[in-house]
Amino acid sequence: MQRVLVIGGTGLLGYHTTLELLSKGYAVTSLALPPMPVENLFPEEVTTVLADINEYSDEALAELISGHYAIMYAAGADERVVPDFPSAKFFYEQNVRPVQRVARIAAAEGVKKFVLFNSYTAEWGEQWPDLGYRERNGYPRTRLLQEEVAIMEGNGAMDVTSLRLPYIFGTMPGRQPLWHMFIDIAEGSPERVTTQMGSTSSVTVKQVAQSAVGAMEKGVHGAKYPINGYNLKYTEFMGYVCEALGRSADEVMGIPYEAVKDYLVQADAEVAAAGKEHGIHLVDSVQFQARDAVSDPAPVMAAIGYEADDVVASIKETLAYCMDNRALYKSWQNA
C-alpha cells in the first residue's frame, strides 16, 4: 500500500484530500500544526503528526518524509493576511522557502509525486500581466515562484504538479469557513449590498480532493492545473449571502471598478502609511474582481479526472453552516 504525506492535513483541503486518499486505498500520514480541531477527526488508520514543519531539522524532516510515495502540500499563508511591508518578503518566507525545502528533501528521499495546492491568482497573474500580479503584488508573485522552485527541485527525480485553486466551498468538523467574512460585509450593509460585477471560478472541496489525487496519479511533471467547477458571479454569490441572512438577493448591487478606484487608492495609501502591505493591493484586487476570472474546466477534468459537482448547493450548505455557527464564530473573533 502506497503512503501519502498530507502537509496541512487538518485544514479544510487537507482533511478532504485525506478522506479521498483513504477511499482510493492509500495509507495517509497527516502533518499539521497543533491542536487538532476536534478529537477523532480522522479514521484510526491515519497517522497524525502535530508539529510545525519549519521547526524540523533537515534530518528530522527527511526521516518523516522517508517511505512516502507522494506529498500533498496544502499549507501556507493566504492573501487575507496583511503583513508588514514588504508583503513579498512575508509570503516568500511563509510559502516559498518551506515548499522548496520540503520538495528538495522529498526528491532526495525518493518521493515520486508532489502536489502543490496553489492559488488561481497565479493563473491570472500569467493571463493578465497588466494587473501587476507578477511584479507589485507579493502574494501572487510568490505563489508563482512557489510553483517554479518546487518544479525545479523535482526535475529528473520527482513529478511536481500544481493546483491553481479558486473559491472553494465546503465544511469540516471543528473549523469555521472563511465565508463568514462575507456575511459580516452583508450584515454591515443594512440597505444595499455592493460588490464587483465580474466572476470567479469556484469549486467544492470534493472537487479539490479529487483533483489532488488525480494530479498525483495522472498529472504531468511541471503542469499547472487551473481548477473550476462553476462560473460564479460576485453578485450571484452575495445574493446567496443575503438569502442566508434572510434578506432578498435583489438587495445586491453590482458597481463598476471606476466608481471605487479612488477610494481603494486611498485605502492602500493608508495601509502603507501604517507600515503594512496587502499581498494583493486593494486597487488591483478589485480591478481583478471586475473581470471574468473563469477557466475552462474541460481540459483539466480530462487530464486529471475530477468530476462535476453541484457547486451552488455547496455554496448554500456552507453559508447555512456559517449561520448555524455565527455565535461560535463571533466568540472566537472577540477572544
Look at the alpha carbons of 85, 87, 88, 91 in this order and tell me if their dihedral is positive or negative. positive
The three-class DSSP label of residue 199 is strand
The values of phi and psi at residue 118, to 5°, are: -115, -165
Size of the chain in residues: 335
Q: Taking the CA atoms of the chain, what radius of gyration do you get in angstroms?
A: 20
At residue 335, does pLDDT exceed 60? no
Q: What is the DSSP string of 4-51?
A: EEEETTTSHHHHHHHHHHHHTT-EEEEEEPSSPSSTT-S-TTSEEEES
Model confidence pLDDT, tens digit, residues 177-223? 999 999 999 999 988 999 999 999 999 999 999 999 999 999 999 99
CATH number of 3-334: 3.40.50.720
Mean pLDDT of the chain: 96
Determine the number of helices (DSSP H) and then strands (DSSP E) in the chain. 14, 13
Answer yes or no: are the C-beta atoms of 62 and 109 closer than 8 Å. yes
One-letter amino acid of 279? G
Q: Which residue has the cell 497524525?
A: 48
At residue 107, does pLDDT exceed 60? yes
Whether the link from the prior residue into 83 is cis, omega within 30° of 0, is no
Answer yes or no: are the C-beta atoms of 112 and 47 closer than 8 Å. no
Answer yes or no: are the C-beta atoms of 169 and 205 closer than 8 Å. yes
Contacts 24+ apart (CB under 8 A), 242-246: 242/186, 242/193, 243/316, 244/183, 244/316, 244/319, 244/320, 244/322, 244/323, 245/183, 245/186, 245/187, 245/323
- Kindly indicate the confidence band of residue 333, based on its pLDDT and cuts at 50, 70 and 90: low
Please, which residues have CB within 8 angstroms of residue 20's CB and are 6 or more apart in sequence? 206, 209, 210, 212, 213
Q: Where are the domains of the chain?
A: 3-334
Answer yes or no: are the C-beta atoms of 73 and 116 closer than 8 Å. yes
Answer yes or no: are the C-beta atoms of 198 and 291 closer than 8 Å. yes
Model confidence pLDDT, tens digit, residues 234-279? 999 999 999 999 999 999 999 999 999 999 999 999 999 999 999 9
Answer yes or no: are the C-beta atoms of 86 and 20 closer than 8 Å. no
Model confidence pLDDT, tens digit, residues 43-101? 999 999 999 999 999 999 999 999 999 999 999 999 999 999 999 999 999 999 999 99
* 302-to-23, 215, 253, 305 alpha-carbon distances in Å: 21, 11, 37, 5
Whole-angstrom Cα distance, residue 184 to residue 103?
38
Q: Which of 127, 138, 146 is nearest to 74 (CA)?
A: 146
pLDDT, mean of residues 167-174: 97
Percentage of residues in the chain having pLDDT higher than 70: 99
At residue 332, does pLDDT exceed 90? no
- Kindly indicate the confidence band of residue 334, based on its pLDDT and cuts at 50, 70 and 90: low
Whole-angstrom Cα distance, residue 243 to residue 182?
12
SS percent in the chain: helix, strand, coil, step 5: 50, 20, 35
